[in-house]
Amino acid sequence: MGTSSARRAPSTRLWRRAKLTATRYLSPANAGAVVAGEVAARYVAALGEGGGPGPTGPLSAFRLTRRVAQNLGAFCSQAASQGWPAALEDLGLKDLAGKPPEALAQALSATLGVPGGGLEQAVAHTALLETLMNLPGNSGAQPKAAGLAGRFLAAALHLRLALDLGDSLEAAAPGIFPLRQGLAELSDCLDRAAVIPTLPAAPRTPGDWLGLPGWTWVSHLLAGLLSNLTGQSSSADSPENI
């Protein structure tokens, strides 16, 4: 998988707890003792260490990612109201109309991304590419901006988790297939957590998506995702894991 050399997570108390939970999650000796939600909960807690209490603590780790989510929402909003050709032409990508999903995803991920360098930019780019690869097709049904933004944020969080806890996950897994299954379960867990029933209505226009309403809405969405995950810790709270 290649995660172990990509990033070394901090070794503070909450990060140690997150790594231990990740180890127990995939360790054959603890089969079924830790579920994906507990790993995610410990990871969110570690992300927020030193950033204030509650789910808003880790938000600062995803500032650039939230900007990319705004760009994605704006594009989807325009595609839904004006059609694919107009939305692509507005981005200077009119030649992509009708092209295969792979070509569309590659070009859009480069155009909708936000420069900044570093880990967050790389993760956001990869998550955006992954999300765009699952579009319904640029000549068929239009994507829902709100749902796609949620899937993108969940994908970005999943990639960050896999990088930060990669050492623990790889070391504990008895093989590549259990590792892949464990990561797939984590991805499903994050996708479910990105469904926020109480979320305010999404921005209506591309301009709203790109402005303060979009920033506020995306931040609410990410905070809701993180909040949903923080409530999933159970056996990870037992004394031997602290």
Report the number of distinct structural domains present in the chain.
1
Which 3 state secondary structure label does DSSP give 235? helix
Q: Is 8 contained in some domain? A: no
Closest by alpha carbon to 119, among 161, 152, 180?
Answer: 161
Mean pLDDT, the chain, whole residue set = 85
The packing angle between helices 63-82 and 101-112, to 10°, is 130
Total-model pTM: 0.87
Q: Is 148 contained in some domain? A: yes
If you average pLDDT over residues 177-206, what whole number do you get? 94
Kindly indicate the confidence band of residue 5, based on its pLDDT and cuts at 50, 70 and 90. very low
Closest by alpha carbon to 66, among 228, 229, 209?
Answer: 209
Measure the CA angle with vertex 25, ends 197 and 176; round to 5°.
Answer: 105
Q: Which position has the token pair 């780790």?
A: 61
**Residue 122 scores a pLDDT above 80:** yes
The DSSP symbol for 142 reads P
Task: Please give the residue range of the domain that contains residue 198.
Answer: 13-241
Q: Is 3 contained in some domain? A: no
| Segment 82-106, tens digit of pLDDT | 888 888 899 898 888 777 878 888 9
**Residue 239 scores a pLDDT above 80:** no
Question: Around 186, how many Cα atoms within 13 Å sit in the side-chain half-sphere?
Answer: 30
Q: Is 2 contained in some domain? A: no
| Segment 54-78, tens digit of pLDDT | 555 688 889 999 999 999 999 999 9
Q: Is 162 contained in some domain? A: yes
Q: Is 84 contained in some domain? A: yes
Q: Which position has the token pair 């920033």?
A: 215
If you average pLDDT over residues 5-28, what whole number do you get? 83
Kindly indicate the confidence band of residue 32, based on its pLDDT and cuts at 50, 70 and 90. confident
Task: Evaluate whether 82 touches 206 at the Cβ level (below 8 Å).
Answer: no
Q: Is 206 contained in some domain? A: yes
Q: Is 89 contained in some domain? A: yes
| Segment 132-165, tens digit of pLDDT | 987 765 545 566 899 999 999 999 999 999 999 9
Which 3 state secondary structure label does DSSP give 233? coil
If you average pLDDT over residues 100-118, what whole number do you get? 87
